[in-house]
């Protein structure tokens, strides 16, 4: 039986998250992509509606500055919870979701 997909390490890199997985693949996800894919009930409701081109940022969102996480904690054996700098923290990202929101990173070329 194959091993279930699991991260070996997760670390901030630039404006996103780099994850090394136990299947040998390394992926990267921008913070903005992770936030757009937030699986919490309120974000899913927003995601299901057409985007509002005239959306005005709240004072809290403006004060928070560029979107980034302030904490990312494991939840049980299956997920991570991200706390964002605007206070949003209700998204529990399963490992499968983290993998699907990120894209594989090409390994560095060994010929050069």
Partner 1 sequence: MHGQHGGPQKVALPGIKFIIAVASGKGGVGKSTVAANLALALQMHGQRVGLMDADIYGPSVPMMFGLGLVDQAKTAFPIEKFGLKLMSMGFLVDPNQAVIWRGPKVAQAVSTFLGQVDWGVLDVLVIDLPPGTGDAHLTLCQSAPLTGAVVVTTPQDVSLIDARKGVKMFEEVRVPVLGIVENMSYFIGDDGKRYEIFRSGGGKKLAEEAGAPLLCELPIDPRVGICGDTGEPIVQKYPDAPISVAYLALAQRVLEESYSRPSDEMLPDVML
Sites of contact with partner 1 (CB under 8 A): 4, 6-12, 17, 40-42, 69-81, 83, 89-90, 92, 94-95
Strands 79-84 and 69-75: antiparallel
Least distance CB 48 / partner 1 (angstroms): 17
Nearer to partner 1, 6 or 36 (CB): 6
- Residue 104, CB-side half-sphere exposure with 13 Å CA sphere: 7
Which H or E run contains 73?
Answer: strand 69-75
Nearer to partner 1, 26 or 83 (CB): 83
């Amino acid at each position: 039986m194959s091993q279930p997909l699991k991260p070996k390490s997760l670390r901030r890199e630039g404006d996103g998250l780099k994850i090394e997985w136990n299947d040998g693949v390394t992926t990267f996800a921008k913070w903005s992509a992770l936030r757009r894919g937030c699986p919490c009930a309120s974000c899913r409701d927003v995601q299901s509606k057409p985007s509002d081109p005239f959306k005005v940022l709240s004072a809290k969102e403006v004060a928070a500055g560029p979107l980034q996480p302030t904490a990312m904690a494991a939840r049980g054996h299956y997920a991570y919870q991200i706390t964002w700098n605007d206070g949003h923290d209700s998204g529990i990202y399963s490992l499968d979701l983290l993998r699907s929101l990120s894209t594989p990173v090409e390994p560095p070329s060994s010929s050069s």
